[in-house]
Amino acid sequence: MKILFTCNEYPPYSYGGQGIFIKEISRNLADRNHTVVVYGVYSGITTRQIENTGGVIIIRDPMTFPDTSILKMFKNRMKYGGEISSIVKEYNIDVIEAHDTGGWFAFINCRKPLFVRLHNGERYFRKRGFNTVFFERLSFAYKRVTIIAVSRFILKEFNSFFRLKNPFNSYALIYNGIRANKINITDKQNTKSIIYAGTLKPIKGVDILIKAFILSNLHKQGYSLNILGKDTITSAKEFYREYLLKTIDGLSEMLLDKHIVFEGQVSKEILLQKYAQSEICVFPSRFESFGLAVVEAMSMGALVIYSDQGAATELIDNGNDGFLVEVDNYPKWSQTMIEVLSLPDEEKERIKENAVKKAAKFSIERCAEETLCLFKSKLQ
C-alpha cells in the first residue's frame, strides 16, 4: 500500500505528540514494506526539502503565507491541497491520513480515501482564534472522511464540538501506540528524580506540578523535579517558563539551588532512560486526548501519576498500574507524590510490573495493524 500522512511537525523540527506518533507509525509501516510519504509545511525554510529516513519519504515545504488573516489561511490551505494532489499523482498514493488541527485538509481533492486522526485536544479546552475555528469547522462539515479517534473520550468530545459534520463520515476507534522501547539502560538505579515530560504550556499543568513540589518539601529529602520539553510563547508574547517564574513564589530559589531543573527538549532515547531511572513520573495535564508520554513512561516501568481527565481512565487503573489525581488540585498532587514515594518497595514493584503490561497493549505495532485494516477496508 502507498500511504500519505500530512504532518507539519515531523521531528526533528519543532514537534509535539502528533509529530512523534506520525514518525513512529510511518517507520513501522515502512518496515512492513509499504510506501510511506509524509508531507507538511514549516516556518523557517525557504525551499522544498525531501529526505528518506528509515524508509519514510519526508517532504517539507515552506509556509508560503505565514500571516494568520483568513485570506492568507485560505491561500495556504488551497496551496496545501494542490501540493498533496501532485504528491498523490507522483507517488501513486492509495490513501491519505491528514492531521485534524487547523482545517488543513479542507481542500484535499484527490478522489482517494481520506482519513483524519483526532490528535488535537486543545480545541475542546480553550478558546482559540475565529479563523482557526472557522477552517476546522468548515473542513469537518465539507469533507467526506473517516474519523479515527485515539480514545473513546476524544470521540465523544469531537461529536459534541463539531455538531455540523458531513453525514457521510464514518468513525473508528484506534488507540494511539508507542514504539517498543529497545534501548540500553546504562544505569537502572533510581536517581531521586521526579520527571515531567511534555510541552511547556498552560494546558499541561506544569504550574500545578511546580506548586505541588514546592509544597511537598521533597527537595529536603534530596528529590529534584526535572522538567523536560520545549518552551512555548504565551499570549503575552513571553516564554511560558518566564511566566512561571513571575507567578510562582519560591520557583527562582528552587531553580538556583537546582531542586527544580528545566532541561528542555531531549532525544527519545535520553527521555526513556530518564523515565526508567526516575522515582516517579508526573503528568498533571488539564486536558489530553490520549497521553503518549504517560504510556511511554509506563512502558519503562515508571511509577506514573496522571491527572484524572480526558482519556486517563482508559490508560490507568488507579492504584493498580498508576495513580490518578484531581486536575488543578496542587495540595492533592503534593500529598499523592509523598504517598507514592513512601509506598513499600514490594508495592512499588507490583505497580511497575502492571504498568509495563498495560503499556504493552498500546504498542505501535497494534496501532499500525489496526490502521492498515481500516485503510484496506476503504479500498475494497
Cell numbers linked to 362:
498500546
DSSP annotation of 84 reads H
Looking at residue 28, its pLDDT comes to 96
Strands 49-53 and 56-62: antiparallel
Residue with cell 512523534: 20
Residue with cell 528542555: 264
Looking at residue 67, its pLDDT comes to 75
Domains of the chain: 2-177+363-379 (3.40.50.2000), 193-360 (3.40.50.2000)
Which helix (H) or strand (E) segment holds residue 282: the answer is strand 280-283
Task: Say if residue 67 is exposed, middle or buried (CB neighbours under 10 Å; 0-12, 13-18, 19+).
Answer: exposed
Tell me if residue 377 falls in helix, strand or coil: helix
Residue 104 carries which side chain, given as an amino acid letter?
Answer: W
Query: What ranges make up the beta strands (E) of 16-156?
Result: 35-42, 49-53, 56-62, 95-99, 114-118, 146-149
Tell me if residue 39 falls in helix, strand or coil: strand
Which helix (H) or strand (E) segment holds residue 193: the answer is strand 193-197
Please give the chain's pLDDT, 380 residues, in tens: 999 999 999 988 877 788 989 999 999 999 999 999 999 999 889 999 999 998 999 999 999 887 778 999 999 999 999 999 999 999 999 999 999 999 999 999 989 999 999 998 889 988 888 898 999 999 999 999 999 999 999 999 999 999 899 999 999 999 999 986 655 665 556 679 999 999 999 999 999 999 999 999 999 999 999 999 999 988 778 999 999 999 999 999 999 999 999 999 898 889 999 999 999 999 999 999 999 999 999 999 999 999 999 999 999 999 999 999 999 999 999 999 999 999 999 999 999 999 999 999 999 999 999 999 999 999 97
Looking at residue 7, its pLDDT comes to 96
Residue with cell 480545541: 123
CA-CA distances (angstroms) from residue 327 to 34, 39, 51, 310? 42, 36, 42, 10
Residue with cell 491528514: 98
Which helix (H) or strand (E) segment holds residue 306: the answer is strand 304-307
* pTM, 2 dp: 0.90
DSSP annotation of 186 reads S
Task: Select from 258, 260, 265, 310 the least CA-distant residue to 283.
Answer: 310
Tell me, rounded to whole angstroms, the distance of Cα 40 from its chain centroid: 17
* 364 neighbors 180 (Cβ within 8 angstroms): yes
Q: How many CB atoms lie within 10 A of CB 361?
A: 11
* 7 neighbors 63 (Cβ within 8 angstroms): no
Looking at residue 186, its pLDDT comes to 56
Looking at residue 110, its pLDDT comes to 86
Q: Residue 114: which region, alpha, beta or left (left: phi > 0; alpha: psi -120 to 50)?
A: beta
